[in-house]
């Protein structure tokens, strides 16, 4: 009888009988359904608990159950909200002296600490790999972005399981983990609907993912948006929908769900909006609000002076800091611009600033939701402005279409003015002039993609944890780096880096915890991060104990043509004593030759240790090299019915090739229309479809020219074979040679056939040289992203006939090893600008 009573009491909390007050034993006694435990964390998951402390008799009434304890986080473990924005330099936020209002970031700074010497890797994917792992980016296989990966350990884009993320560790300690926003840490091969998903967020230790795959996306029509492992299209038939707000809504809803279901379980939320990477897509209300503030009317030189003065007032730069000089040889002075240029460039800056302010506002909603749940006091919030310096990918004049500008096609200001009234809308994929980019890096020089100078790596960072950080509004000047975030989180939670996770021995972290800086008595303590190498596309530096040895910048980061000195070993060094020269304005290499030699030796030691070699100085030209994906080694592809959502990296690539598309269709009585196959969208791509029954093939050259083939008659009911054949000018390995008569971006002749009969033939003078619109997918039977021709249709534009078979055959250049080496090493001219 006693055993029966004991059974009822120990199960009472589960059965809702309200008997918890009957006995102290009912408050999560060992073996009860609500019993919990913590673990030492040396091995994740811990060995199974095979202990059974109950009693088993022949009859259940004479037996006593025993449940293994549920593993929970250490007592008092904080919630974690890790926020990182995109493409924003040190002088962007009001928190670090910028003119753009960022009240959410200001709020965290006022209730916590500002960090003035915190660094990224200078490019997004590498920074994010280091951020969530605590390891240097080359050790994570992320020497650059996955789209430019090469077959070397430091550059293959594969984050291996021996370097688990901080989310996987926290998950193993009872946290619920989630990732919102940008995922640019998955290589091409597993990004399709069939995975494998081990290198997606859910395979990296995150319980939930809502965000986009790849480097950027339209915030109005994100063709690469995913929930967990499923591509989704929530914007369809919803005018005004914007991912910046939708993402905040999803994060808030998720946190509320966690709190409702298990309020005692701590959460780790990794919040990584696509802003402010191009395309700059704020809502019209925010553009109007910022434009009325007239922040940029006086130009980029005055903007630098204003930010510089604000930074000194805030104490986020030293009082004796020097403003680095303006690069007159690279970027026009404001007083050299025409009135038309000024008008356009101010609009570009207004839209960028609106994007910053809009995103910070939505981040503020997420932070407020934490407070509304009563969890703010014990939530560690880390808010990093930018994963690198502000982007210069818009080039000297900015662009309404970043897909074009990174491939060397820069529209004159006069041509850009037709987009003036819709700048920032879904009709543009915009980026601002590099003059603003440079100014938003105040007080430093250079921009994103430059890791040797702080304009590319210095990120304004704030941290709050009200329960622990008692100093409100403090400033910290210790040197730190994104690799330090994961160790900081682990120390805050009170768990170690495991020796083993899922049976795999773990590599050590490279970062150091920043937790010591939370204590006011350590406000001026020396940094515990003594040495840090930097390398990005040959540009490099080594920081050690207050000194930094940096290469001279040998390529402007807005030039992706591949021109320049491709022997990084020959690049000259510059030396800066940061204890006296906080902004890298005074090169003292000639004064300290021994220091240069010592630091250079240290760099190469770090390079050997961290898989930095071999260094590769090419950028987007590298995208043409073969790499693992679902199309590798294939030249023919067959589909039937609707097959949508194949991401750009796994799509059949027709660039610099001849190709043939053949569609076997059945037209119902009354006719049909809709998309048969498309790749890309509004800003670059092609589509083969029926419009009012007529076959149409459109090649969209960056939205600046649309070459069109169209049949004259609508198809009759019944079976038909539709064919588009394109013969590229200069097919063969020679195609790869930029500047050759048959180089990239050349034209060709297209022929449209219906049932074997030619109905349209047209010569196309140029083609897209390197990249389709990367945030759009390859779709068969519908168009899930933006249309290749807004005048013809709106998405999803599903095919209303029967698509029995679609075959795409590609006659690609035959690549030899010699061709590949030529592609990597040649002095290239720019194909798209010819």
Q: CA angle 389-392-397, nearest 5°?
A: 150
Q: Which residue matches tokens 């709106």? A: 794
What is the model's pLDDT at position 51?
87
Q: Which residues of 205-239 are buried (b: 16+ CB within 10 A; e: fewer)?
A: bbbbbbbbbbbbbbbbbbbbbbeeeebebebeeee
CA 72/CA 170 separation, integer angstroms: 10
Residue 587's nearest CA partner among 549, 554, 534, 544 is 549
What is the model's pLDDT at position 825?
53
Looking at every residue in the chain, the average pLDDT score rounds to 92
User: Residue 360 pLDDT more than 80?
Assistant: yes
Each domain of the chain, given as residue ranges in start order, spans 2-71, 81-526, 629-825
Look at 369-373, 529-533, 565-569 and tell me which has the smallest mean pLDDT.
Answer: 565-569
Residue 620 tokens read as 């987007």
Q: For 256-308, what is each residue's pLDDT tens digit? A: 999 999 999 999 999 999 999 999 999 999 999 999 999 999 999 999 999 99
- In CATH, the number for domain 629-825 is 2.60.120
Is 81-526 CATH 3.40.390.10?
A: no
CA distances from 424 to 287, 298, 299, 736 (A): 8, 22, 20, 35
Q: Which residue matches tokens 């592809």? A: 637
User: Residue 506 pLDDT more than 90?
Assistant: yes
What is the value of pTM for the model shown? 0.92
User: Residue 78 pLDDT more than 50?
Assistant: yes
Mean pLDDT for the stretch of residues 702-708: 94
CA distances from 831 to 530, 560, 621, 706 (A): 44, 11, 10, 19
What is the model's pLDDT at position 770?
85
Q: Which residue matches tokens 């041509």? A: 415
Residue 675 bridge partners (DSSP): 689
Matching fold, domains 81-526 and 629-825: no
What's the alpha-carbon Rg for the chain, to the nearest Å? Answer: 28
Q: Is pLDDT larger for residue 10 or for residue 186?
A: 186
Q: For 46-56, what is each residue's pLDDT tens digit? A: 998 888 999 99
Q: Which residue matches tokens 């040889």? A: 329
CA 214/CA 353 separation, integer angstroms: 23
CA 20/CA 296 separation, integer angstroms: 64
What is the model's pLDDT at position 544?
98
What is the model's pLDDT at position 619?
84
């Amino acid at each position: 009888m006693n055993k029966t009573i004991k059974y009822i009491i120990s199960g009472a909390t589960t059965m809702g009988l309200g008997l918890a007050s009957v006995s102290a034993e009912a408050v999560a006694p060992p073996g009860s359904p609500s019993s919990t435990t913590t673990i030492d964390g040396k091995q994740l998951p811990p060995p199974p608990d095979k202990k059974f402390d109950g009693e088993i008799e022949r009859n259940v009434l004479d037996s006593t159950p025993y449940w293994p304890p549920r593993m929970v986080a250490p007592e008092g473990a904080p919630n974690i909200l890790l926020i990182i924005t995109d493409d924003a330099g040190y002088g962007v936020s009001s928190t670090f002296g910028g003119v753009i209002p960022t009240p959410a970031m200001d709020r965290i700074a006022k209730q916590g600490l500002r960090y003035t010497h915190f660094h990224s890797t200078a490019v997004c994917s590498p920074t994010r790999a280091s951020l969530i792992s605590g390891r240097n980016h080359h050790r994570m296989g992320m020497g650059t972005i996955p789209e430019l990966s090469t077959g070397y350990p430091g550059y293959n884009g594969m984050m291996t399981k021996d370097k688990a993320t901080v989310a996987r560790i926290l998950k193993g300690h009872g946290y619920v983990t989630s990732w919102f926003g940008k995922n640019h840490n998955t290589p091409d091969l597993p990004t399709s609907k069939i995975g494998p998903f081990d290198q997606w967020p859910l395979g990296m230790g995150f319980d939930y993912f809502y965000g986009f795959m790849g480097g950027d996306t339209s915030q109005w029509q994100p063709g690469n948006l995913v929930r967990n492992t499923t591509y989704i299209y929530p914007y369809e038939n919803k005018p005004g929908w914007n991912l910046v707000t939708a993402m905040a809504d999803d994060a808030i809803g998720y946190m509320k769900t966690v709190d409702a279901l298990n309020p005692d379980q701590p959460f780790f939320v990794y919040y990584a909006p696509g802003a402010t990477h191009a395309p700059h897509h704020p809502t019209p209300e925010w553009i109007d609000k910022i434009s009325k503030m007239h922040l940029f009317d006086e130009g980029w030189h005055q903007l630098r002076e204003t930010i510089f003065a604000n930074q000194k007032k805030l104490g986020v730069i030293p009082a004796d800091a020097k403003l680095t000089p303006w690069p007159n040889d690279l970027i026009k002075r404001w007083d050299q611009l025409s009135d038309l240029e000024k008008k356009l460039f101010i609009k570009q800056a207004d839209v960028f600033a609106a994007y910053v302010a809009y995103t910070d506002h939505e981040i503020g909603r997420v932070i407020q939701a934490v407070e509304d749940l009563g969890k703010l006091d014990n939530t560690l919030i880390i808010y990093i402005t930018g994963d690198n310096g502000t982007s210069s990918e818009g080039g000297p004049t900015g662009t309404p279409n970043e897909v074009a500008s990174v491939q060397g096609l820069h529209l004159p200001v006069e041509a850009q003015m037709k987009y003036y009234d819709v700048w920032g809308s879904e009709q543009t994929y915009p980026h601002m002039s590099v003059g603003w980019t440079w100014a938003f890096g105040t007080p430093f020089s250079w921009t994103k993609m430059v890791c040797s100078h702080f304009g590319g790596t210095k990120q304004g960072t704030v941290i709050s944890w009200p329960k622990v950080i008692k100093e409100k509004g403090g400033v910290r000047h210790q040197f730190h780096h994104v690799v330090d975030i994961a160790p900081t989180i682990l120390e805050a939670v009170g768990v170690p880096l495991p020796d083993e996770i899922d049976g795999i021995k773990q590599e050590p972290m490279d970062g150091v915890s920043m937790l010591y800086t939370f204590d006011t008595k350590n406000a001026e303590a020396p940094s515990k991060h003594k040495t840090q190498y930097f390398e990005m596309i040959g540009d490099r530096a080594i920081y050690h104990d207050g000194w930094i040895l940096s290469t001279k910048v040998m390529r402007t980061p807005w030039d992706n043509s591949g021109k320049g000195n491709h022997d990084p070993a020959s690049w000259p060094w510059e030396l800066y004593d940061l204890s006296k020269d906080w902004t890298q304005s005074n090169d003292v290499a000639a004064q300290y030759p021994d220091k240069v030699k010592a630091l250079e030796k240290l760099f190469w030691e770090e390079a050997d240790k961290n898989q930095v070699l071999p260094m590769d100085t090419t950028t987007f030209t590298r995208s043409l090299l073969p790499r693992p994906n679902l199309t590798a080694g294939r030249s023919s592809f067959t589909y039937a019915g609707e097959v949508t959502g194949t991401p750009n990296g796994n799509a059949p690539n027709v660039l610099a090739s001849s190709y043939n598309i053949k569609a076997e269709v059945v037209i119902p009585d009354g006719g049909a229309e809709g998309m048969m196959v498309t790749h890309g969208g509004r800003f670059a791509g092609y589509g083969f479809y029926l419009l009012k029954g007529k076959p149409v093939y459109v090649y969209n050259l960056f939205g600046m020219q649309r070459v069109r083939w169209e049949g004259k008659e609508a198809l009759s009911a019944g079976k038909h074979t539709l064919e588009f054949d394109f013969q590229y000018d200069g097919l063969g390995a020679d195609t790869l040679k930029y500047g050759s008569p048959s180089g990239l971006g050349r034209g060709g002749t297209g022929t449209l056939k219906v049932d074997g009969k030619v109905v349209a033939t047209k010569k196309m003078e140029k083609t897209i040289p390197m990249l389709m619109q990367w945030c759009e997918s390859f779709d068969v039977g519908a168009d899930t992203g933006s249309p290749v021709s807004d005048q013809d249709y709106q998405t999803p534009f599903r095919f209303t006939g029967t698509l029995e078979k679609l075959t795409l055959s590609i006659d690609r250049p035959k690549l030899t090893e010699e061709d590949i080496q030529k592609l990597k090493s040649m002095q290239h001219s720019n194909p798209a600008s010819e």
